[in-house]
Amino acid sequence: MNPGPGPVGRMNGYALIATTLGAVAVSVLAVLLLSPGQGPPVPDGPAAASVVAERFTPAELSRADDYRSWGRLIGLGSLIVQLLVLALLVFRRGPVMLRLLAWLGRRPLVGAMLCGAGISILLSVADLPFDLAAWQLGRDFGLISQGLGSRLLDWAMAAAIALVPATLGALIAMFLWLRLGKRFWIAAAGLVAIWAVVTTWLWPVVVSPVFNNFDSLREGSERTEVMRLADRAGVEVGEVYVVDASRRSSTVNAYVNGIGSSKRVVIYDNAIRKLDQSEFRALVAHELGHVKDQDLWRGLAFAMLVIPLGALFVQLGTVACLRRRNDSPEGPAVIPALALMATIAALVLQIPGNVLSRSVEARADRTSIQLTGDPQGLVDLQVRLARSNLSDVDPPAVWQFLFGTHPSTLDRIAIAEGAR
């Protein structure tokens, strides 16, 4: 699979460029096809800005901006370090690393497993300072109550969980790489697609309970409200759980995850304690909007559309990395190159994915208003969420475009104001 120098190498470069452009084009087309038709709103500047000015003090806005600005720096630093670690493993290897790769190459499949495990551990360790920085930031601003020991235990458990798919994934990738040659990307795309479905199904019942306790929402006014709204939306919600988020932080949230038998609505215990009736109703109605419109399947459909060209990009980029280093295409050096290119592909495809996500979230807000008939409840909820979570009500446009999965608080208030 190593094209070597000369015309073959140039052809691989042209194919990589064409695949990159094709992947971007397909992802944009996928957003257009899957968007619910109600994208992020154009804010009604005066109305939304007036609500922000009335409901937030300058000190509150400044404090949230400070918190989120530091959080963005920590997140960006973590991302850069992860990429640098992978790039160094691919392009800058010292004598020790070269001898280790040569030793691992004696048994390519076992060597690939060890290489995948080593990369996973190395990335987890490299990310630990940023994880602790985010933890300390949350404590400094009063959002996080979790102690250092508990945080380190969470980090260790997350690292151990990540080690399993990294090790098995490296083994499978190396096997397919050796057996299929240029057809590697086809099998890889199929396996990644299956993995996306399986993890969406199993994550709520296998991984999430490792970190939190989930209890069925007890009979009472909150459960009655959830069932009433679900009936009005005409959806089967599966189970409704309360998660003990207060063990770690004071943030307020709810979410929907799982498919089929694992489908569930999860509400933070902080939300039950802190939200008034209209705010709670707006929060639940928003999540039921996701169930009603099958938004989890919409996200999976996006993944199915972009994964094939993404996998081809990863294959061609890996070949280019091997060629640049003159590495054997049959040795464990394939694994860090695959990891680097897969990370780059995920980062690039995440951008249109976030565009779709913001559109879906905006539509869920509108569905919430339709179910409750209470635009003011949504306004009050957004104000409460912004205060409780120290949200930046109007984040930098570039950051919002690249990383924002939800419309900004200002935009979400605009949705409610526009529904009056």
Tens digit of pLDDT for each residue in 298-323?
999 999 999 999 999 999 999 999 88
Predicted confidence (pLDDT) at residue 354 exceeds the cutoff of 50: yes
Tens digit of pLDDT for each residue in 20-44?
888 899 999 999 999 886 544 555 5
pLDDT band, residue 45 (cuts 50/70/90):
low
Predicted confidence (pLDDT) at residue 259 exceeds the cutoff of 70: yes
Contacts of range 199-202, beta carbons closer than 8 Å, 24 or more positions apart: 200/257, 200/258, 200/259, 200/296, 200/300, 201/258, 201/259, 201/260, 201/261, 201/262, 202/262
Question: How many CB atoms sit inside 10 A of residue 246's CB?
Answer: 15
Distance CA 152, CA 132 (A): 8
What is the per-residue pLDDT for 6? Answer: 47
Predicted confidence (pLDDT) at residue 412 exceeds the cutoff of 60: yes
Average pLDDT over residues 339-349: 95
Distance CA 410, CA 396 (A): 12
Tens digit of pLDDT for each residue in 50-60?
888 999 999 99
Angle at 295 between CA 291 and CA 300, to 5 degrees: 130
Angle between helices 277-292 and 295-325 (to 10 degrees): 70
**Residues forming a β-bridge with 266:** 241, 255
Average pLDDT over residues 232-241: 85
Average pLDDT over residues 231-257: 87
**Residues forming a β-bridge with 254:** 267
Instruction: Report the SS3 class of residue 39.
Output: coil
Domain parsing of the chain, residue ranges: 7-418
What are the phi and psi torsion angles at 241 (to 5°)? -120, 155
What is the per-residue pLDDT for 5? Answer: 45
What is the per-residue pLDDT for 229? Answer: 92
Average pLDDT over residues 62-71: 96
360, 371, 362: which is closest to 409 by C-alpha?
A: 362
Instruction: Report the SS3 class of residue 144.
Output: strand
User: DSSP label at 390?
Assistant: T
Average pLDDT over residues 282-295: 91
What is the per-residue pLDDT for 172? Answer: 95
Angle between helices 409-418 and 45-55 (to 10 degrees): 120
Distance CA 20, CA 309 (A): 8
Predicted confidence (pLDDT) at residue 277 exceeds the cutoff of 60: yes
State the average pLDDT for the chain: 89
Average pLDDT over residues 6-33: 80
What is the per-residue pLDDT for 4? Answer: 44
What is the per-residue pLDDT for 258? Answer: 81
**What pairing do the DSSP bridges indicate for beta strands 254-257 and 264-268?**
antiparallel
Please state, in angstroms and as integers, the Cα–Cα distance from residue 147 to each residue in 180, 248, 391, following that order: 49, 8, 23
Q: Which of 2-16, 236-250, 365-379 has the lowest mean pLDDT?
A: 2-16
Q: Which of 29-43, 45-59, 135-149, 397-411 has the lowest mean pLDDT?
A: 29-43
Predicted confidence (pLDDT) at residue 2 exceeds the cutoff of 50: no
pTM of the model: 0.89
User: DSSP label at 412?
Assistant: H
Amino acid making up residue 300? L
pLDDT band, residue 10 (cuts 50/70/90):
low
Q: List, as one string, the DSSP characters of 44-83.
A: -HHHHHHHHHHHS-HHHHHHHHHHHHHHHHHHHHHHHHHH
In the structure encoding, which two tokens stand for residue 182, read together? 């240029």
Average pLDDT over residues 394-408: 94
pLDDT band, residue 3 (cuts 50/70/90):
very low
Average pLDDT over residues 232-242: 85
Amino acid making up residue 182? K
Predicted confidence (pLDDT) at residue 419 exceeds the cutoff of 90: no
Tens digit of pLDDT for each residue in 320-336?
998 888 877 888 889 99
Average pLDDT over residues 78-93: 93
pLDDT band, residue 99 (cuts 50/70/90):
confident
Distance CA 340, CA 314 (A): 9
The CA radius of gyration of the chain, in Å to the nearest whole number, is 23
Tens digit of pLDDT for each residue in 169-192?
999 999 999 999 899 999 999 999
